[in-house]
Chains A and B, each alone.
Chain A
């Protein structure tokens, strides 16, 4: 039977030949991401900024300017109107997203305010209806930001601790460097493309952390095994060997995950497209970083090699059955 083989059986790619270039590129990308973030900022959704987001659906083709003119006299301040596209929408489904800033003196939007917006928009297009209304008061949005930052920090700390427990501290630093890299780059791409950054994106961010870690840990596990197996070979060779040995798996898993995510991106509807985009980006960046950031970082830090003497306490507990 013919087999699909994305990666040849024995690879000996020297991943670290240009480590300065790849490491430098990652560093540059991170700096760039932070710069863009500082200059352009994230397009925070109402979860984090407070305010109201209304999803309108109409049968007539929509006219963003007319919508804006209709809402402007109501005096709600900053109103953003964007058209929403999805291949599944027919010509008689015209969807827009109307975002209104948080109003002074109220938490969530009041019934009167919603009705005022509805009346104003229905005057433009009588077929228009509200498919969804979400309103978050400034009090809650502040707490949501706090919870989001804490959860990302907590996830990083927990993972740092777990890897340190199971491997050596150098592994731990490498893994977390890779995670920070992934998170920063994701924030960067969201700043550049100005995709709406809301609560779901935080979930995506944490999943990226999980996924990238998954990849990193698999490589590290092999490194640990090979370090014991080849006590005399230099660290760089062991790392390269380990990455090559696990390359086939890395590619397989990335491909299956990307297949699933791409199908969700194309067919899953516009509501979660931003969320899925973050994950696709994360899978690509995460796969890259587990090799070019995590392992490269470890190469620079060096690893203590005399595990053979008392592997029990330095290498941490191992679940695997060791061959005697």
Chain B
């Protein structure tokens, strides 16, 4: 009747043993964490004594997976940024102008002179040709410039440009397919650049994730505040080099068509009117290093890639004696006069920098400019002290909850209570083992989820015990009562837990951040408590029964 085959017993006990083994590192959190850090450093080639000592803090044959602590427990910053993906359209379409101009210049005999017209929408290029009657033909020439859309999946069928005729103007815009492909590239580039910048700052285990179409979630544990993080990643660091049209002291001066006005960074009250289309941009930089200029002032040395170097070399050769503006994020850093042809594609940025500023600027330039600006939709900072307080309070609450439940179960069920209590402790080990193994993140609501599980986990066991009690009354003997108890409680246990599990799954799917952490612990708690109630308590009861052969059950 009450028989459990040996293989099943071995399986159940080994599951429990593994759970304890994998939950164990969390009891020695600091030591294991130091060990893990040291192992990573060691693998990276750091063999110093301190690293060696830390590596020995935890035996290497033991599992060393830890539960990740969420930002609300560890302290750190959380940012949700929205990338202005449409900013990139304007740049893309703007960069088409030389090609369009050159193509139509080739057909000058038919279409006449080509003029670029101002447009209200920065995402479109308006061109007017000298002979309006040839506009259809001219639009045809522009259409030839369209390339197949490049996307992550390769070359698509669609073309990247839409060319239409609006009155006397030929209007060139990015096609829908190209916009999507551009958005995709913008997001990937933004993610990559943010990752590089955060990595340069050297904090532990940052989370940088894309969310939805145009959002990026950034979580950095251990950073002082979201403000610091914003400064690090929020700077666009877009470096461009423009021909200077004019310098003025009037901030409201109206620049001509295709011209922009930017303030000077060092000289308040000075404004530069520049040509809108840059000669070269920071994207063509291959390296940037802090250094000194010939007057021993902090400066940043940079080098262009071959294409950028060529464009820069050609422009300087053609414009000797003309001023030339170096613009960073809409401010003119400096506007030197070109003294000579600069071949080789390297140069220096000077301005009124401090040494710190030059090294930060070099970092930003190396990591690359963000392709578009970002808006911050959400930010959260939790100080490390508050996080530690939450951990401490959560720990105490969990221990007290545990003791109270253990005592209550013991008082209510006697020897059966002992079994239920062992099952409860095993259950907790399993939750922690699973959380560590899947690398889940423990949050403050997650701790609440565990404490709630301590209370609810006994439910399945209670259902069984109560059923055994009832079955004992119909006096079929203790063995039969135990068996019937398990059989009849099964459907209630499953139904009750599946419904709760459904809500946990929905919470996980819809929730974010801490709520998700709660859903994970709740869901895992349900799985492990069903397992312990159905298998572990049963096995323990059977063993007890085999040893004692009681005539009646003290339940």
Contact = CB atoms under 8 A, between A and B. Distances in A.
Interface residues of A, number: 83
Given A111-B230, A249-B463, A214 B456 contact: yes
A88 B394 CA distance: 12
Interface in A256-305: 256-261, 263-264, 266-269, 271-272, 275-276, 279
A107 interface: yes
Contacts, number: 257
B120 to A, nearest CB: 22
Nearest to A167: B495
Contacts of A257: 452, 455-456, 459
Contact of A5 (B231, B386, B412): B412
Contacts of B376: 107-108, 137
Contacts of B380: 132-135
Contacts of A258: 455
Interface in A224-261: 225, 245-246, 248-249, 252-253, 255-261
B552 to A, nearest CB: 13
A68 interface: no
B136 interface: no
A107 B393 contact: no
Interface string A139-176: 11000100110110011001100110010000000000
A309 B60 CA distance: 63
B458 interface: yes
B496 interface: yes
Given A154-B510, A320-B488, A163 B379 contact: no
B397 A163 contact: no
- In this complex, the member of B411, B455, B502 whose beta carbon has the largest number of chain A beta carbons within 10 angstroms is B455
Nearest to B522: A207
Interface string A170-207: 00000000000000000000000000000110110011
Contact of B507 (A3, A134, A151, A252): A151
B483 to A, nearest CB: 10
A199 B519 CA distance: 13
B463 A4 contact: no
B502 A162 contact: yes
A217 B495 CA distance: 7
25 contacts: A4-B408, A4-B412, A108-B379, A133-B226, A133-B379, A135-B380, A155-B507, A159-B502, A199-B514, A200-B518, A203-B445, A203-B507, A206-B507, A214-B499, A214-B500, A215-B496, A217-B496, A221-B495, A253-B455, A253-B462, A260-B454, A267-B397, A271-B390, A275-B445, A319-B495
Interface of A: 1, 3-6, 55, 57, 88, 107-109, 111, 114-115, 129-137, 139-140, 144, 147-148, 150-151, 154-155, 158-159, 162-163, 166, 199-200, 202-203, 206-207, 209-211, 213-215, 217-218, 220-222, 225, 245-246, 248-249, 252-253, 255-261, 263-264, 266-269, 271-272, 275-276, 279, 318-321
Given A162-B498, A275-B448, 17 more contacts: A134-B380, A135-B379, A137-B376, A140-B378, A159-B502, A200-B518, A203-B515, A206-B506, A207-B518, A213-B503, A256-B454, A256-B462, A259-B404, A267-B397, A268-B447, A318-B491, A321-B490
Interface of B: 72, 79-80, 82, 225-227, 230-231, 375-383, 385-386, 389-390, 393-394, 396-398, 400-401, 404-405, 408-409, 411-414, 444-445, 447-448, 451-452, 454-456, 458-459, 462-463, 466, 469-470, 487-488, 490-492, 494-500, 502-504, 506-507, 509-515, 518-519, 522, 554
